[in-house]
Structure 1
């Protein structure tokens, strides 16, 4: 009985000693823990503030709501992550922090390899959201398609072509490829090709064409109307006339050409200037004579 009592007392003493050590360790650890909690709390509030500030800045840009939200969340996540790392370093959990970073690195590598295409489109979407060369309602031409930009999200760009059909293009194909934006400049140079008959007075045709274009399309300072004959065609002497118009999409260019063709045709009709049809002459009698001649020469040989 006495031995059991002694064993119990020893156990209690050992337990008390262990508890005392824990209390002392916790008392020494408590200031660092409080500082770490304060730091982490401060970074959480800081992350919320920076996320709201980011949204306000992005609202000034013509971006999709989904893109603005994901960017603000990414920034919030980065700020909180920095706060966690600082709090762990204050608690002297260096080994745990190193292990966490190593695990995160391996995990990120595995996830990155598995989602390589998706992540590429995501980062490309973020890049396209910030560059001024692609904005909503711009008319762009890329990857064989041409249309108005309706949406820029983290996976793709949605454009509406002139035939009212929608085309979805992955962001990476645009960010890594080439595209043409018709809406970045208000003024566009139109190139119109035509031809006149060989009997025409070329100097008069040139002057009449320039006058017609000048009367229908206003030219600003530094802009010029160019006219040049390009070739002796099969049925006409061909030329190109280049002039400036207000155009931010393909429809504006199409209507400018439409107006120019009507005006030039009307002016040519008033001055009896001929725009020839393509002509092909087939002289069957001559061909027959040449065939018979060749046949006779072959017999003589």
Structure 2
């Protein structure tokens, strides 16, 4: 009885192995085709990555973002080849299971890394955004400085005091920012006041002449001089003109140059720039009664 069972077992194993061998022989062309297709997609991913890197080298200056994007594209192309290879092997159920498992895992990872993924996608958007490039001087989220780095998590700003500020990419996408470097020219504002005894028309013409000599205007640019108010000790005005500005320091330099030139011109013409004066009245005297008189 035991010998009979052993022979049946050997026979069953032989039949099973024979069935596998038959299946292998029948599916050998599909297997070879699947391997060839997968290899083709691996090579294709390599060349697509190189082409994308060359095309985006000018648009994406940050190496870390460019390398990461190239790796993602390669992985997507290889995954497509993998799924096609599974289809050629008639492993549709395995393919369905893999896709379902990948969806569940992707959902779990997405929920766990929601903030990180938000910054990552924001970094990809910033890398293609022409309004923000490395070397630009920007103001955003209460900070101002030169953009020194844009990566998949944050941007790095070097402030005028030589300190670095790291701002998450999502904050840049969600909040407004001001970029001084996108335009070569900007309007400068200088505020001042002159005494009430001044000839206002003469002051206006003199100020316009001074600004025009030190800051030549281009094209349709013009200098504007406007009196604003009757102040406590002066009649105040603002003069607006155009100058070369690509960062905040350029504004300060232009204002400094204009103030010095205006002060020299006013001194030469005896134009008074008043300053507040505080008067102390000593008329009321306190009487002190001396004791013992």
What TM-score comes out, normalization by structure 1 length? Answer: 0.89
1:208 partnered with 2:206: yes
- CA shift at 1:16, angstroms? 3.3
Q: 2:268 aligns with which of 267, 270, 275?
A: 270
- CA shift at 1:150, angstroms? 0.6
Q: 1:187 aligns with which of 182, 185, 188?
A: 185
State how many pairs are aligned.
285
Q: 1:250 aligns with which of 248, 251, 257?
A: 248
User: d(CA) in 2 for partners of 1:250 and 1:9?
Assistant: 92
Structure 2: segments with no counterpart, 5+ residues: 285-293
Instruction: Give matches, 1:111-122, under 5 Å.
Output: 111-122=109-120
Aligned to 2:287: none
Aligned to 1:21: 19
User: d(CA) in 1 for partners of 2:281 and 2:108?
Assistant: 75
Contact 1:234 1:279 in 2 (8 A): no
1:128 partnered with 2:126: yes
Instruction: Give matches, 1:75-154, under 5 Å.
Output: 75-154=73-152
- CA shift at 1:11, angstroms? 4.5
- CA shift at 1:58, angstroms? 2.5
User: d(CA) in 1 for partners of 2:263 and 2:189?
Assistant: 16
Contact 1:155 1:171 in 2 (8 A): yes
Contact 1:187 1:247 in 2 (8 A): yes
Instruction: Give matches, 1:28-39, under 5 Å.
Output: 28-39=26-37
Contact 2:60 2:128 in 1 (8 A): no
2:59 aligned counterpart, secondary structure: coil
- CA shift at 1:155, angstroms? 1.1
1:59 aligned counterpart, secondary structure: coil
Contact 1:140 1:182 in 2 (8 A): yes
User: d(CA) in 1 for partners of 2:133 and 2:28?
Assistant: 53
Aligned to 1:164: 162
1:226 partnered with 2:230: no
Contact 1:51 1:72 in 2 (8 A): yes
User: d(CA) in 1 for partners of 2:60 and 2:88?
Assistant: 42
1:62/1:127 CA distance change after superposition, 3 Å: closer
Aligned to 1:199: 197
Structure 1: segments with no counterpart, 5+ residues: 289-301
Contact 1:196 1:273 in 2 (8 A): yes
Contact 2:226 2:238 in 1 (8 A): yes
Aligned to 2:290: none
